[in-house]
Amino acid sequence: KAGVTQTPRYLIKTRGQQVTLSCSPISGHRSVSWYQQTPGQGLQFLFEYFSETQRNKGNFPGRFSGRQFSNSRSEMNVSTLELGDSALYLCASSLGSLAVKTGELFFGEGSRLTVL
Amino acid sequence: QQPVQSPQAVILREGEDAVINCSSSKALYSVHWYRQKHGEAPVFLMILLKGGEQKGHEKISASFNEKKQQSSLYLTASQLSYSGTYFCGTERGFGNEKLTFGTGTRLTIIP
């Protein structure tokens, strides 16, 4: 079956602009999580969506937002970009459940954002 | 709170063994291990639930010491394909707790 698809794969923006990243999860997966990856910081949790509801949110400023659609596809948006937002943004999907803890995450290859 | 991984980096010759540690200051419900090769997406290795069980995956196994809130990943007779960055992720308690990853351990296997 098709894996997690993230678009765009690479993008360059300038400070102050905004960006929208898209994630299509594996068919049947209802949970989508977003992570920011930078050298030395590992994978920083941004947020998780399950059945169109934000279930968890990490310690990022309000400039970072996301949403999930009825088909489980998810988008994240970063407004007023800063140089420090340059990173690889990874999306991960899982079967998810209201009652079950995090199971195996299937990651996409990420969207590499460069802010100039 | 982010778990602490050690070592940060390690270089091994093919066939040698490695141990990667992951520790938390908080009580844990589960520990997850992922491997990310350069330029690729992280790939799931295994999940360990509290109860101290040990799991295995080919020549890669892991343990979870619930009392110490520590997990160790064991790579025996390492192969070139084991090279990559290993991340542990931890979950606390029940409910909708987020999975929090450590900063990773970069493993390089040389011939």
Question: Smallest Cβ distance to A108: which of B2, B41, B91?
Answer: B41
- Which tens digit of pLDDT belongs to each residue from A49-100? 998 999 889 999 999 999 999 999 999 999 999 999 999 999 999 887 655 5
- Which tens digit of pLDDT belongs to each residue from B16-42? 999 999 999 888 888 999 999 998 999
CA atoms within 13 A on the CB side of A66: 30
Residue B95: the pLDDT is 58
Task: Kindly state the tokens that stand for A99.
Answer: 């009652």
Label each residue of A14-83 as H, E or C.
CCCCCEEEEEECCCCCCEEEEEEEECCCEEEEEEEEECCEEEEECCCCCCEEEEECCCCCEEEEECCCCH
- Per-residue pLDDT for A1 more than 80? no
Residue B83: the pLDDT is 96
Mutate which: A31, A35, A36, A43, vs B, most B CBs within 10 A: A43
Mutate which: B28, B98, B106, vs A, most A CBs within 10 A: B98
DSSP per position, A86-106: -EEEEEEEE---SSS-----E
Where is pLDDT greater, at B93 or A111?
A111
